[in-house]
Structure 1
Amino acid sequence: MSTNTQRKTPTFVKDVMWPQVDIVDGKTTVEQALADMKYKKTKVLLVEKSHDHDEYGVVLIADIASKVIAKDRALDRVNIYEIMNKPAMSVHPDMDIRYCAELLTHFNLSRCPVLDNGKVVGVISLTSIVFNGLRIA
């Protein structure tokens, strides 16, 4: 009986992440942010750091639905910084997607930014991990 001792080469976050990142200023209104999201066909916006020692924020479609629309707040009177989640959990581009998937599901996240040396280089989602990260032999 032979055993297969060959290890699979891991797939990394950088292999399946989305490299285009939409970063907005925290003072952007939800109305402006939604227009941007619709135009770019994205479900996530990163919120720029306000100073060097700050952290990135993140706003998802679900945040807009629950914190603005469900509460009947005016889209043009709410700023993104009021509804963002901060600090945004992030992962490194060289993280194995198995660990990334575990991290995202543990914290009930659908996506998060990918940071390399403090700079945003992409966004990773469970969808991209599942559809693009599987290597079928």
Structure 2
Amino acid sequence: MMTASGTRIVRARDIMNTTIHYIDGMATVSEAAQMMRKEKTTSLIVQKRGPDDAWGLIVSQDIIRGVLIEGKKADIVNVYEIMAKPLITTPAEMDIRYVARLMNRVGVRRMPVEESGKLVGMITQADLILKSSLFGDVFL
């Protein structure tokens, strides 16, 4: 699909990472860090506790701020203590130009992609540039 100006519309689903790693909020930060190393990722989605709950997110910066800098022990701090919650998600069909504006407006570097109430992927600021054909096919 094209915009009125003739630019191809690139949607969140076109460039998102489809692998999502989940962790329980009761897990320790040590367990979260081990999972991040094993999966080679810097972010984990914190599972909902029930149907009326919201997803959370723990990223490497949370561990640095909430444990390392604070001098706390990662094996006694729980994920729920340092995670971000609730998450702002983006619809899978959203044009990435609007995704970029939303991410910039709320000050996040990564955002889960949602479709029909389920998380289907994760999009990062780097994905907006590196995986988008809006800037030519150099990075594809």
**Separation in structure 2 between the aligned mates of residue 6 and residue 20 of structure 1, nearest angstrom:** 33
How many residue pairs get matched? 133
Runs of 4+ in 1 over 6 A off after TM superposition: none
Structure 2: unaligned runs, 5 residues or longer = none
AA matched with 2:35 = D
2:21 aligned partner: 22
| 2:81 is the alignment partner of 1:82 | yes
Deviations 1:4-32 (CA, angstroms, capped at 9, x unpaired): x7522200000000000001111111001
Q: Which residue of 1 aligns with 2:113?
A: 114
Larger-Rg structure: 1
Identity %, equivalent residues: 32
Rounded to whole Å, the distance in 1 between the matches of 2:93 and 2:7 is 16
2:86 aligned with 1:61, yes or no?
no
Separation of aligned partners in 1, 2:132 and 2:85: 28
1:88 is aligned with what amino acid? L
**Equivalent position SS for 1:27:** coil
Q: Deviations over 1:22-74 (max 9, x none)?
A: 01111111001101001111011100000101110011111110111100110
Deviation larger for 46-55 or 5-14: 5-14
User: What is the distance in 2 between the residues matched to 1:24 and 1:107?
Assistant: 24
The aligned residue for residue 40 of structure 1 is 39
Secondary structure, counterpart of 1:113 in structure 2: strand
Task: Give per-residue Cα distances to partners, 1:58-97, cap 9 Å, x unaligned.
Answer: 1111111011110011000011011111101110110000
Q: Which residue identity does 2:78 align to in structure 1?
A: N
SS of corresponding position for 2:90 = coil
Looking at structure 2, the residues matched to 114 and 18 of structure 1 have their Cα atoms a distance apart, in angstroms, of: 9
Rounded to whole Å, the distance in 1 between the matches of 2:5 and 2:83 is 45
Root-mean-square deviation (CA, aligned residues, Å) is 1.3
Partner SS for 1:98: helix
Q: Report the equivalent of 2:8.
A: 9
